[in-house]
Amino acid sequence: EVQLVESGGGLVQPGGSLRLSCVGSEFTFSSYSMSWARQAPGKGLEWVSAISGSGGSTYYADSVKGRFTISRDNSKNTLYLQMNSLRAEDTAIYYCAKFNGASSSRWFDPWGQGTLVTVSS
Amino acid sequence: IQLTQSPSSLSASVGDRVTITCRASQGISSYLAWYQQQPGKAPKLLIYAASTLQSGVPSRFSGSGSGTDFTLTISSLQPEDFATYYCQQLNSYPLTFGGGTKVEIK
């Protein structure tokens, strides 16, 4: 069964940094784009970032551009999200997702269980 | 690309037919997915390519539409279907989600 497991969340002060990790298993990790999405407490889903299978192409939401960096280590089947200059509004559950695609369709499946990031002094 | 879901919430009874709509601010072909999220859980894929049912998802779920207007239909609501539903466009970056529709028990 394809599985994604996130880690690295926690409490951080405003202006601080945190690195999230997402380990994938039971699929050829390097063949798939991957993505991060987040959900603030009691709010809807927000897409954060995506990266191609090789890592050569990256994409960001305007809300995190210049502060967050997505990367991957295909030898370790691991996706990362480096988060700098964190703000209170970055408080959320962060999910990683496998980004699937075919000739005329794309979708996120599966999603990890999520890791909570709390930005507060 | 903005996605507008309606309604934002609805109350329905077991056995009811439920329809949720998702409108895109510009054409996205069929690059639309639907997810179900239970409280405290990660989102689960229901439908991709606007109308393709994900493996393992009950056939009471269906999707339709292309371009800018899309619909998710639950033909006969079951107790386990009470959840929040999100649409997502994957046509172009930045990817976006609709605001969600919370389906509650009447």
Interface test with B, best of A46, A106, A115 (most B CBs within 10 A): A106
Q: Strands across the sheet with B18-24, in order?
A: B3-6, B18-24, B69-74, B61-66
pLDDT by residue for chain A (121 residues), tens only, comes to 999 999 999 999 999 999 999 999 999 999 999 999 999 999 999 999 999 999 999 999 999 999 999 999 999 999 999 999 999 999 999 999 999 997 778 999 999 999 999 999 9
The half-sphere exposure of A24 on its side-chain side, counting CA atoms within 13 A, is: 28
Instruction: Convert the pLDDT of each residue in B50-105 to its tens digit.
Output: 999 999 999 999 999 999 999 999 999 999 999 999 999 999 999 999 999 999 98
Q: Which of residues 17-56 of B touch A (CB under 8 A)?
A: 29-31, 33, 35, 37, 42-45, 48-49, 52, 54
Contact flag A45-B93 (C-beta cutoff 8 Å) = no
What span, in angstroms and rounded, lies between the C-alpha atoms of B72 and B45? 12
